[in-house]
Amino acid sequence: MKKLFVLLMALSMLAQINAQEKKIFRISTDNTDLILQVAPNGRLYQSYLGDKLLNEQDINNFSYAVKGGSDGSVSTRGWEVYPGSGAEDYFEPAVAITHYDGNPSTIFRYVSAEQKEVKGGTETVINLKDDQYPVEVILHYIAYPKENVIKTWSEIKHSEKKPINLWRYASTMLYFSNTNYYLTEFSSDWAKEARMSTQPLMFGKKVIDTKLGSRAAMHAHPFFELGLDQPVQEQQGRVMLGTLGWTGNFQFTFEVDNVGNLRVIPAINPYASYYELKANEIFSTPEFIFTFSNNGTGEASRNLHAWARNYQLKDGQGDRLTLLNNWENTYFNFNEELLGELMKEAKHLGVDMFLLDDGWFGNKHPRNDDHAGLGDWEVMKSKLPGGIPALVKSAKEAGVRFGIWIEPEMVNPRSDLFEKHPDWAIHLPNRETYYYRNQLVLDLSNPKVQDFVFGVVDNILTENPEVAFFKWDCNSPITNVYSPYLKDKQGQLYINHVRGIYNVLNRIKDKYPNVPMMLCSGGGARCDYEALKYFTEFWCSDNTDPVERIFIQWGFSQIFPSKAMCAHVTSWNKNTSVKFRTDVASMCKLGFDLGLKELNADELAYCQNAVANWKRLKSVILDGDQYRLVSPYDGNHMAIMYTAPDASKAVLYTYDIHPRFGEKLFPVRLQGLDAKKMYKVKEINLMPNKNSNLAVNEKTYSGDYLMKVGINAFTTNQTHSRVIELTAE
């Protein structure tokens, strides 16, 4: 036995040495292998992307040439990892460069590679260089074995005599060879976020992109699902989930070529972004993050959720604050006294924080509606004579934390800021200005503007170190696209603007590492994993109608953990009960945005109890494994559950949306439990004086039974919900 082990080890080492000589790079998670190989022509090709191989020596078996030529032959044109424009590949390139002398071709050849341990995984770095021009690309891949996630990005630099122009700059390129490909995309608009739809990918290209600049994901979100051979399903089938960490214009290209292979190209959208790169400047692409599963999107989402909490999301392992927001309750109409009352209400409700929304600033141009004041971040004295210090004090007296809304990247033309610095706003010098929500976007490519935006947060926190939270909003796309700062380099605007935002966010993170922030963009128009390095959570949608929210939260949950998704109980769709609205918000990071005076005594008592339950169970809801059990897209019900990693506790949410009269109801079969453990089933979040009519309530069942037989939790009631706690005995 021992001899066999030694022999196997020796074979594996030999295979590794062989692979090094052959220049084969294996990027591996516990379940996936991405194998790249240098061909005799010195170029780097993808030889395999699929299930992890068991035997090390098998990685030597691949060919680097393209597979499946129509005449059965193998062509010399390969699956090049980072193909440049102007060579023999006639499909979409990863990179396109016009060199200083006007030559539009680039061919990268292998130079060197290294692998190193990084937090959570292994990073593979591969250097490639053009042999005709001093241009390099450095490919980065971090494989996170446990979570089965790979994150990849590229860096481009050169030392040509003059600047070069980049007109394509993909983060990476991935190739697939399957019988069929199905794309699930997430379209969006204000109050219509994360709408999922699926289509087959046929010959040619499908592009998902955005040109909005700042409120960049308003019409399409920067993520997708790919069903390989069949459309994606929740619990079966081979799927890939991918997402780009870029808070600006992005572009996903899916191209099926002449032999039926698919290439997936995630990138910054090159639209209007002919990028002039100076010698020795490094052009870093955004990170593309992807995962695979052979068991459908449910498992793939759990991979991303765990990865995000462990490595990417700001304070991913930390706690989150429940809150009472005043936006929908008061809009712009409040004063110090009213806010003091609301802080007491927040305490009475049992939440951790009061969050003051829009309308607290501007004096010469008071922010009493959305026409004026953006840019003038001093407290409006007529409304709030004691300033922020008085609000922090009142919150303290009420026994809650205090958070505040800002929209620091924007300016109303009716503001001191615009009067003083009209050149700080992105707008065309020679055309009539078009206003989106009566505002303009500040030019974050300008370092002076970056200082100003940093100052918005810095000044508040310097004066009020006890401010506990920021809601950072962004309500306008870039309009009238022209940067007074960049002058004849307008091709840099969309990209440098986003980089300017990251500069500011980095400075904030460095100086105030522990201040949580919510990312908001007129609802959920900013939702990406680069921004979430700086934000603890994001606002999914202004649409808080619970029926709509069931779909919106289902959509975002494909990519993001519940911990990152803010959901508030509001007065949208008052035809539904306060319980239904609260149970829907309780699936994510819970908050409220309504006046408690709207609630009768039972409703208030219900909410207080629901907040207490949520806080008691938040380690399961926010940090547990999520199982999406019944999709709202499939019928009139929805069910989702969270399970603690040790399966000792679980929380099940079931919703009847608009069931048909007398429709057949199916039991909800649970997942993620320990089959051998016994679980006590208890319906919680009940209205005062209401008993549960769940047949299994307060009874004990094995995990096996609950997963195979399930619970009859659905009803034919309209907009009806249940929250069920399961505790292992």
Binding residues: 190, 357-358, 437, 471-475, 520, 542
Q: Which is nearer to ligand DGJ, 296 or 523 (CB)?
A: 523
Reading the block at residue 472, the tokens are: 């950072």
3-state SS class at 627: strand
Q: Which is nearer to ligand DGJ, 367 or 628 (CB)?
A: 367
CB of 569 to ligand DGJ, least distance (A): 14
d(CA 486, CA 477): 19
588 vs 344, 485, 562, 575, 614, CA distance in Å? 24, 41, 5, 22, 10
Q: Are 652 and 706 in contact (CB under 8 A)?
A: no
The residues facing 139 across adjacent strands are 126, 154
Q: Which residues contact 482 (CB under 8 A, 6 or more apart)?
A: 426, 427, 428, 429, 490, 493
Q: Positive or negative, the Cα torsion across 687, 692, 698, 702? A: negative
Which element (helix H / strand E) includes 483? none
Q: Which is nearer to ligand DGJ, 544 or 721 (CB)?
A: 544
Q: Which is nearer to ligand DGJ, 320 or 568 (CB)?
A: 568
d(CA 179, CA 687): 52
CB of 525 to ligand DGJ, least distance (A): 9
Q: How far apart are the first and last CA of the chain?
A: 42
d(CA 519, CA 538): 4
CB of 581 to ligand DGJ, least distance (A): 16
Q: What angle do CA 389, 390, 396 make, to 5 degrees?
A: 90
473 is catalytic: yes
Question: How many CA atoms lie less than 13 Å away from 431 in the CB half-sphere?
Answer: 10
- Candidates 95, 243, 228; CA nearest to 168 is 95
CB of 360 to ligand DGJ, least distance (A): 11
- Candidates 293, 305, 77; CA nearest to 175 is 77
Q: Which is nearer to ligand DGJ, 44 or 216 (CB)?
A: 216
Q: Positive or negative, the Cα torsion across 273, 278, 279, 284? A: negative
CB of 327 to ligand DGJ, least distance (A): 5
d(CA 700, CA 84): 62
CB of 328 to ligand DGJ, least distance (A): 8
Helix%, strand%, coil% for the chain, nearest 5: 25, 30, 45
Which element (helix H / strand E) includes 341? helix 336-349
CB of 405 to ligand DGJ, least distance (A): 6
CB of 35 to ligand DGJ, least distance (A): 44
Q: Which is nearer to ligand DGJ, 470 or 701 (CB)?
A: 470
- Candidates 216, 250, 213, 246; CA nearest to 521 is 216
Q: Are 342 and 609 in contact (CB under 8 A)?
A: no
376 is catalytic: no
Q: Which is nearer to ligand DGJ, 166 or 374 (CB)?
A: 374
Pick the catalytic residue: 33, 352, 376, 542? 542
Reading the block at residue 198, the tokens are: 């699926």
Q: Which is nearer to ligand DGJ, 356 or 673 (CB)?
A: 356
Q: Which residues are annotated as a binding site for substrate?
A: 190, 357-358, 437, 471-475, 520, 542
CB of 592 to ligand DGJ, least distance (A): 13
Burial pattern 362-373, b for ≥16 Cβ within 10 A else e, equals: beebbbbebebb
Q: Which residue is nearest to ligand DGJ (CB)?
A: 358
CB of 469 to ligand DGJ, least distance (A): 13
Which parts of this chain interact with ligand DGJ (CB under 6 A)? Answer: 327, 357-358, 405, 473, 475, 520, 522-523, 539, 542
Q: Which is nearer to ligand DGJ, 78 or 523 (CB)?
A: 523
CB of 380 to ligand DGJ, least distance (A): 15
Pick the catalytic residue: 257, 443, 473, 625? 473
Range list of H helices, 351-409:
387-398
d(CA 575, CA 578): 9
d(CA 694, CA 363): 57
Q: Which is nearer to ligand DGJ, 376 or 725 (CB)?
A: 376
3-state SS class at 571: coil
d(CA 727, CA 729): 6
d(CA 359, CA 351): 23
Pairing of β 250-256 and β 121-130: unpaired
83 vs 92, 108, 261, 344, CA distance in Å? 9, 7, 16, 61
Q: Are 479 and 435 in contact (CB under 8 A)?
A: yes
Q: Which is nearer to ligand DGJ, 241 or 356 (CB)?
A: 356
- Candidates 636, 638, 633; CA nearest to 658 is 636
Active-site positions read: 473, 542
